[in-house]
Amino acid sequence: MVVDRLRRSVGLALLGGALWTLPTGAFAQSQYPDKPIRLIVPQAPGSATDTVARILAAELGPQLGQQVIVENKPGGALTIGIDLVAKAAPDGYTLGVGPIGALAVTRHMVARLPYNIERDLTPIALIARGHLLLAVSPTSDIKSVKDLIAQGKANPGKLSNASSSNGSPGHVGGELFKYMAGIDAVHVPYRGGAAATTDLIAGRVQFMFESLNSISPHAKSGSVRALAVSGDRRSPGFPDIPTVAEAGVPGYSAPTWSGVIGPAGLPRPIVQKLNEAVNRAIKTKAFVDRFGSIGDEPAGGTPEEFAQTIARDSAKWGDVVRRANVKLD
């Protein structure tokens, strides 16, 4: 019995020594997360990206066992919020929502980004894929994409297309549409989608591409006339609305997306834990139902797939920006 007690004492001492010599970082990773997580949104409250972030945060918190707190840091053509993520400590407690505009579009329009997207950020998981909605005023006599193209060709330079801002997905989506449809229209940027939609409803601008996430209530109420969605397939929330490609511009494709990002240097176990939690969160009934009501779809996938999406769409929209000579004010 004395020998057994001695063996147990030696075993406990060795175990204690092993725990004492564990790297602090490894121990912290195993306990992650043990405090609330900040989720930075590079746009204002009420924006499409903010809506995505808040729906996700409500479901992600329970998956991680910690509160996920959304913080809006708009400005600088989305660079202020993304820069905060890029310069955060790589401990998993400061994350961000990276929309397509920040990660694949405006990077080609800002002369000196304060970060390098590939070097300074870690893609974690795609949250959702969505559409832009091509819409006109209900007071307009434009009833289809073909009507819009016909009017544009008959009145070069006289139609105006609104967007939520210079460099927004709606802006470059409109530039791609005009190029592929062979029409000339004047781009009118606004400070936010709400103001642009208001002027569209009133007929002060003729058409616009806006995130379905933002404009779907107006499409459902009939305060705007929905002509088409921008993705490769129809929106499950609006199955009767054709894609732009179906409606008259073959090959047109301008889907949207957003994903969770972190700073560079995030330990792989933390990246993996977050990726798995996001993939579970976007499959919850609450998340699926909320997104179904606005017409977007849960995405998910691996960090590597998210990185490939960023690279592919950055190359595509870089070409559009250069061809259209799009610049930020």
Class of domain 133-225: alpha beta
CB 60 within 8 A of CB 277: yes
- Give pTM, 2 decimals: 0.86
> What phi and psi, each to the nearest 5 degrees, are found at residue 15?
-65, -45
Residue 178 and residue 137: Cα distance in Å, rounded? Answer: 18
| Percent of the chain residues past pLDDT 90, beyond the cut | 75
| pLDDT, tens digit, 9 for 90 and up, residues 82-127 | 999 999 999 999 999 999 999 999 999 988 899 999 999 999 999 9
**Lowest pLDDT segment from 14-28, 156-170, 221-235, 258-272:** 14-28
Domain with CATH 3.40.190.150 in the chain: 36-130+255-324
Residue 13: pLDDT above 50?
A: no
Residues 6+ positions from 20 with CB-CB distance below 8 Å:
none
CA 139 to chain centre: 32
CATH of 36-130+255-324, one of 3.30.420.40, 3.40.190.150, 3.90.1330.10, 3.90.930.12: 3.40.190.150
Give me the pLDDT at residue 4, please.
Answer: 46
Residue 30: pLDDT above 80?
A: no
State the average pLDDT over residues 246-264.
97
| Mean pLDDT (the chain, rounded) | 89
Residue (of 165, 126, 125, 137) closest to 43 by Cα position: 165
Give me the pLDDT at residue 14, please.
Answer: 35
| pLDDT, tens digit, 9 for 90 and up, residues 58-68 | 999 999 999 99
| pLDDT, tens digit, 9 for 90 and up, residues 182-233 | 999 999 999 888 899 999 999 999 999 999 888 989 999 999 999 999 999 9
Residue 327: pLDDT above 80?
A: no
CB 37 within 8 A of CB 66: yes
3-class secondary-structure state, position 210: strand
CB 260 within 8 A of CB 270: no
In this prediction, residue 20 has a pLDDT band, given cuts at 50, 70 and 90, of very low
CB 305 within 8 A of CB 134: no
- Tell me the range of 16-20, 71-75, 78-82, 273-277 where mean pLDDT is highest: 273-277
Residue 242 and residue 262: Cα distance in Å, rounded? Answer: 36
Residue 254: pLDDT above 60?
A: yes
Sign of CA dihedral 163, 166, 167, 172: positive
| CA-to-CA dists, residue 247 to 4, 154, 182, angstroms | 81, 19, 15
**Which residue spans within the chain are E strands per DSSP?**
37-41, 68-72, 94-99, 121-130, 132-136, 159-163, 185-189, 207-211, 225-229, 256-263, 297-298
**Which residue spans within 110-268 are E strands per DSSP?**
121-130, 132-136, 159-163, 185-189, 207-211, 225-229, 256-263
- Please give the order of strands across the beta sheet that includes 132-136: 185-189, 159-163, 207-211, 132-136, 225-229
Residue 7: pLDDT above 80?
A: no
> What phi and psi, each to the nearest 5 degrees, are found at residue 97?
-105, 120
In this prediction, residue 292 has a pLDDT band, given cuts at 50, 70 and 90, of confident
Domain with CATH 3.40.190.10 in the chain: 133-225
| CA-to-CA dists, residue 264 to 46, 52, 117, 254, angstroms | 28, 23, 9, 28
Sign of CA dihedral 56, 58, 60, 63: negative
| CA-to-CA dists, residue 73 to 44, 77, 96, angstroms | 7, 11, 10
Sign of CA dihedral 133, 138, 139, 140: positive
In this prediction, residue 28 has a pLDDT band, given cuts at 50, 70 and 90, of low
Give me the pLDDT at residue 290, please.
Answer: 86
Give me the pLDDT at residue 90, please.
Answer: 98
Residue 11: pLDDT above 60?
A: no
Cβ atoms within 10 Å, residue 147: 15
Q: Which residues, in sequence order, are bridge partners of residue 297?
A: 129
